Chain A
Amino acid sequence: SQQGEEDPQALSIQEGENATMNCSYKTSINNLQWYRQNSGRGLVHLILIRSNEREKHSGRLRVTLDTSKKSSSLLITASRAADTASYFCATEEDDKIIFGKGTRLHILP
């Protein structure tokens, strides 16, 4: 099953701008995670937000969680070329992590 659905599927922005990606999910969760995948490589864990949290920050990353709407957003501020990657939200289900389809982010010079 695929719990998370990211929106948009692809996003291109100018370097220095902010990038916002959204994730919607279907069932109740204990936490939600965001991962980054650079082209052809493994995933890197970015941030985890628990169901009782509404917002969390880590460096240039800001994650929000709205459990009433079953949605989360990832904001990357002051984007850099190195932020070009695919971003996935993930939720846990029966001791497994289920990944969304991902947003491909491209930072234009």
Chain B
Amino acid sequence: SAVISQKPSRDICQRGTSLTIQCQVDSQVTMMFWYRQQPGQSLTLIATANQGSEATYESGFVIDKFPISRPNLTFSTLTVSNLSPEDSSIYLCSVDVGHTYEQYFGPGTRLTVT
């Protein structure tokens, strides 16, 4: 198993600014995932972050808008840039421990853009 923390838990940001979300895992993991969950919707995968390599983005998500860092095996950040109200969502990070495909999720970051 894995325990995952995210910071901040919530934030209200102004249009045009950026927010960086931190994800910390209590054990070393190879793959970390970032998801977006818009209000009342399911989770959409933004990107997969492997340590030591560029993140792999899903269709519809680009690095300029969602830059990701993965400096070591326990930490990752997701930045949501040039915020607009459409970016208001919950952002979640998750990890896959031991390649079992069971994912452990952080508590999420609730972003509201005004």
Contact = CB atoms under 8 A, between A and B. Distances in A.
Contacts of A95: 31, 48
Interface stretch (A56-64, A65-73, A96-104): A96-104
Q: Is the interface on chain A under 10, 10 to 19, 20 to 34, or 35 or more residues?
A: 20 to 34
A31 B96 CA distance: 14
B42 A102 contact: yes
Contacts, number: 53
Nearest to A46: B102
B66 interface: no
B42 A99 contact: yes
B interface residue count range (under 10 / 10 to 19 / 20 to 34 / 35 or more): 20 to 34
Given A42-B92, A88-B43, A48 B101 contact: yes
B70 to A, nearest CB: 16
A34 B59 CA distance: 24
Closest 9 A-B residue pairs measured CB to CB? A42-B105, A99-B43, A43-B105, A101-B42, A42-B107, A92-B101, A99-B42, A45-B102, A42-B108
15 contacts: A2-B42, A30-B101, A35-B103, A40-B108, A41-B107, A42-B4, A43-B94, A44-B105, A45-B103, A48-B102, A88-B43, A96-B33, A97-B33, A98-B45, A101-B42
